[in-house]
Chain A
Amino acid sequence: MKVCVDYDKCTGLGLCESLAPEFFEVQDDGSLELLQTEGAESQRAELEEAVRACPTEALSLEG
């Protein structure tokens, strides 16, 4: 599945990073970097948790 970030909504706080650090990393300037865009099926639960935790609804999964 594909991981999508809506950068207009993201406030760069990194709740996603604390749940799925292999995918998300907030940089020193506060911007979010997506480390991988493709998630394996075995990582779905972890990614779904990150999507749910994002306070600004900036994350979504496709496929």
Chain B
Amino acid sequence: MVQTRPAYDTVSVGSLEFWAKTPEEREERFRILRDERPVSWQRPAEGSMLPQEDGAGFWAVTRHADIQTVSKNPKDFCSGQGVMIEDVPPDILEAASSFLAMDAPRHTQLRKLVSAAFTPKQVKRIDEQIKDQARRITDELIEVGDCDFVDQVARKLPMWTIYEMCGLPAERRSDAAHAADGMVSWSDEDVRQGKEPAELLNDSLITLINIGIDLAEDRRAHPRDDLMTNLVQAEVDGVKLTDEDIAAFFVLLSVAGNDTTRNTITRTLEALTRFPDQRKILQADYEGTIGVAIEEFVRWASPVMTFKRVATRDVELQGQQIREGDWVVMYYASGNRDERAFADPYTFDVRRTPNQHVGFGGGGPHFCMGNVLAKTQLRALFDQLLHRVPDLQGGEPVQVVGNFVDGVKSMPCTLNL
């Protein structure tokens, strides 16, 4: 039986024009979809490096509860056929995504090797170093004065943390971070500087892979007590990981650990500027409020806007017939403003409880591995900023155009000391 597809939804959430809008403008469309067509059939995403193979289109899932349903059900909605809203060449997918784009059992095995370095106990071990680094970054900010907040502050701590954990030599860190940016911002013309999207992605990827392979070789020759050494020594079913496997981990960590946290930091300063009463709550009792507040920082920023799954069989969701092989895209940014899950979703409320946001994913086996680490960084950095530069103000953010991470290229700040 041939089923016909519904017509493409007139409320588009896949075009480049859509992604160029501010989060508030995008939210106007999400709201319509959540209320009227929570699972909608959308035109193929624009601006792709590869046109979607079957050219059909994709399902947009916009409600909080439905995002959780898809996310927690990996048997029906798998990751192994890609997780981005565009088709990425398969060799790139494998070299760049590591276990992000895998399913059980391989996902489970590989993830376990790395996740042991990200547990609360392990993160606590580097807590003091992260605090130290946050203090230094704030020292420098005070020295420099009014500046671009993204470049001077937000980008530094996430980059430092992830490369410190990997033991990357200092002289390669800036190259690595630059390449990590290219991996997520290929659709932005400013970032591309005349390159084609696929070319930028490819160049960035090769840079990161080479750095990852060098690191792996170095640790085989000179083992240390660090994450990379654990990986070269690890075995899965009696087989050691290859340098390519390890390089793919490195790429994944560089991409997942950098601009997600950076954009949360930037959007949080923006929010604390717009909602001064919330800043006062934090300043009055930082230790007592920050634990709950951090969840609101992540909900508010929702730096990862989308992830895709592919249906492994015909399934029904909110009355829509999803077919085997269909793309199903979870819109975390929409789920985090769903009035069914959050009272006053448009209010930045640092005391919001409960706060079951989907900023780190909707649950299930791929739930963000770096969530404890990201929260540790946010806690350390805002402790410094809010106490030492209490009137720090963010200006107008300049956005990256893209369908994956809600990136902020730059945002002026004034210290008012």
Binding site for B on A (CB under 8 A): 11-15, 17-18, 21, 25-30, 52, 55-57
User: Known: A12-B112, A13-B367. Contact between A26 and B121, CB under 8 A?
Assistant: yes
With contacts A11-B365, A12-B119 known, what are 8 further pairs, Cβ within 8 A? Answer: A13-B369, A13-B371, A14-B120, A14-B372, A15-B372, A21-B120, A30-B112, A30-B119
**How many Å from the CB of B237 to the closest CB on chain A?**
15
CB neighbours of B116 from chain A (8 A): 12, 26-30
Asked if residues A12 and B115 are in contact (CB atoms below 8 Å), the reply is yes
> Can you identify 17 A-B contacts, CB atoms within 8 angstroms?
A11-B108, A11-B112, A11-B365, A12-B112, A13-B119, A14-B119, A14-B120, A14-B121, A17-B119, A26-B116, A26-B120, A27-B116, A30-B112, A55-B363, A56-B72, A56-B367, A57-B72
Alpha-carbon distance A28/B116, docked complex (angstroms): 6
Contact with A along B356-393 (1 / 0, CB 8 A): 10001101110101011000000000000000000000
| Residues from 105 to 120 in B contacting A, C-beta threshold 8 Å | 108, 111-113, 115-116, 118-120
**How many Å from the CB of B88 to the closest CB on chain A?**
25
**How many Å from the CB of B348 to the closest CB on chain A?**
22
Asked if residues B118 and A55 are in contact (CB atoms below 8 Å), the reply is no
Asked if residues B367 and A17 are in contact (CB atoms below 8 Å), the reply is no
Asked if residues A57 and B115 are in contact (CB atoms below 8 Å), the reply is no
Partner of A11, one of B72, B111, B120: B111
CB neighbours of B360 from chain A (8 A): 55
CB neighbours of A18 from chain B (8 A): 120, 372
Asked if residues B111 and A15 are in contact (CB atoms below 8 Å), the reply is no
**How many Å from the CB of A28 to the closest CB on chain B?**
6
CB neighbours of B112 from chain A (8 A): 11-12, 30
**How many Å from the CB of A55 to the closest CB on chain B?**
4
